A and B are shown apart, each in its own frame.
Chain A
Amino acid sequence: AQSVAQPEDQVNVAEGNPLTVKCTYSVSGNPYLFWYVQYPNRGLQFLLKYITGDNLVKGSYGFEAEFNKSQTSFHLKKPSALVSDSALYFCAVRDPRANDYKLSFGAGTTVTVRA
């Protein structure tokens, strides 16, 4: 079975400081990993994904994520946070060996960036 955990319900940072949103996963093989962002009462927007290759993945809006197989983690990072980055962030995982090809989402992390 595949699953993903976001250990922090909330992350608070000051504008201009680095932002990290944590994600750990559990799959039987090599995972496919995704990050999405959701603004209030809106759908999810795709940020980036990891399939294979370079462990550092760069995505939209200056975000990047680092895949760490030994720690089974895929943390989302941004070097300098903006107030407009305040939103709900979801990590998702898929086991490519599973027959159903479903995405499993974490519970989400609320990011607040203060001016």
Chain B
Amino acid sequence: DGGITQSPKYLFRKEGQNVTLSCEQNLNHDAMYWYRQDPGQGLRLIYYSQIVNDFQKGDIAEGYSVSREKKESFPLTVTSAQKNPTAFYLCASSIDWGRQAPDTQYFGPGTRLTVL
């Protein structure tokens, strides 16, 4: 988990509210990612970003939004449009993106979001 911080660790939200999850890295990595983890389903990619001010939708982007204004930060907003937001959210980063050899993704400690 070293080098990537996520906050808060636990988050509770009422239905109809937007909520923003923080992800910060001090590894000087170019690429950052957001995953959602549900029991028995592995990790699913929500959004990813190769470079500042650019990001791409992953497999399950509906109901989520992101921004990448700084290299070290990649916040995720879970909007009220997300039908089933209760899950464990993981942020990751990697040193480069698009090289022939893939770089390892390193993960933060995660944020557990519960919708009340």
Contacts and interface: CB of A to CB of B under 8 A. Distances in A.
Interface of A: 9, 32, 34, 36, 41-46, 49, 51, 90, 94, 96, 100-103, 105-108
Among A43, A101, A108, the one with the most B-chain Cβ atoms within 10 Å of its Cβ is: A43
19 contacts: A9-B40, A32-B102, A34-B104, A36-B107, A42-B1, A42-B109, A44-B43, A44-B107, A45-B1, A49-B102, A90-B42, A100-B56, A101-B97, A101-B98, A102-B59, A105-B42, A105-B44, A106-B42, A107-B41
Nearest to A46: B104
Given A90-B43, A105-B44, A107-B42, 4 more contacts: A43-B1, A43-B110, A49-B102, A94-B102
Interface of B: 1, 4, 6, 40-45, 48, 56, 58-59, 88, 90, 92, 97-98, 100-102, 104-110, 112
A106 B41 CA distance: 8
B24 to A, nearest CB: 14
B75 to A, nearest CB: 17
A50 B70 CA distance: 31
Contact of A102 (B42, B48, B106, B107): B48
A51 B110 contact: no
Nearest to B99: A101
A16 B106 CA distance: 29
B98 A102 contact: no
A41 B112 contact: yes
A108 B42 contact: yes
A32 to B, nearest CB: 5
Nearest to A6: B42
B101 to A, nearest CB: 5
B43 A105 contact: yes
Contact of A107 (B40, B90, B97, B108): B40
A90 B101 CA distance: 20
A49 B104 contact: yes
A98 to B, nearest CB: 11
